[in-house]
Amino acid sequence: MVLAEDLRKTQPDVYMERVKARKRGDWYRILIGHFAGIEVAAIIMKERKILEAHPGSFVQLKSEGRSSKLKPEE
């Protein structure tokens, strides 16, 4: 996918996952990095201006049995 390839040029740890959404078909998530915490990821996202380049982006904590989202302030 072009977006993932473009991001790999500037972001060190990019990968894509396919999600099957009911009534919407296949969707693709572009994931960037593994961070020590959700706050650190939000800071990096802001410093690298990811939200400006990719509106609608957000930080999501992924771990067993737990998921939370944070959309960094611009």
Summarised one tens digit per residue, pLDDT across range 13-72 is 888 888 888 888 998 888 888 888 888 888 988 888 888 888 888 888 776 545 555 555
Q: Is residue 74 part of a domain?
A: no
Q: Is residue 68 part of a domain?
A: no
Output the CA angle 32-5-18, nearest 5 degrees. 65
At 71 the pLDDT is 55
Please say whether the beta carbons of 51 and 74 come within 8 A: yes
What's the total number of domains in the chain? 1
Q: Is residue 50 part of a domain?
A: yes
Q: Is residue 27 part of a domain?
A: yes
Tell me which residue range forms the domain holding 7: 2-60
Residue 44 token pair? 């990096």
**Whole-number Cα distances in Å, 32 to 1, 24, 37:** 14, 24, 13
At 29 the pLDDT is 84
Q: Is residue 13 part of a domain?
A: yes
pTM exceeds 0.95: no
At 57 the pLDDT is 84
Q: Is residue 67 part of a domain?
A: no
73 or 31, which is more confident?
31
Output the CA angle 12-17-21, nearest 5 degrees. 145
Output the CA angle 11-42-63, nearest 5 degrees. 90
At 69 the pLDDT is 56
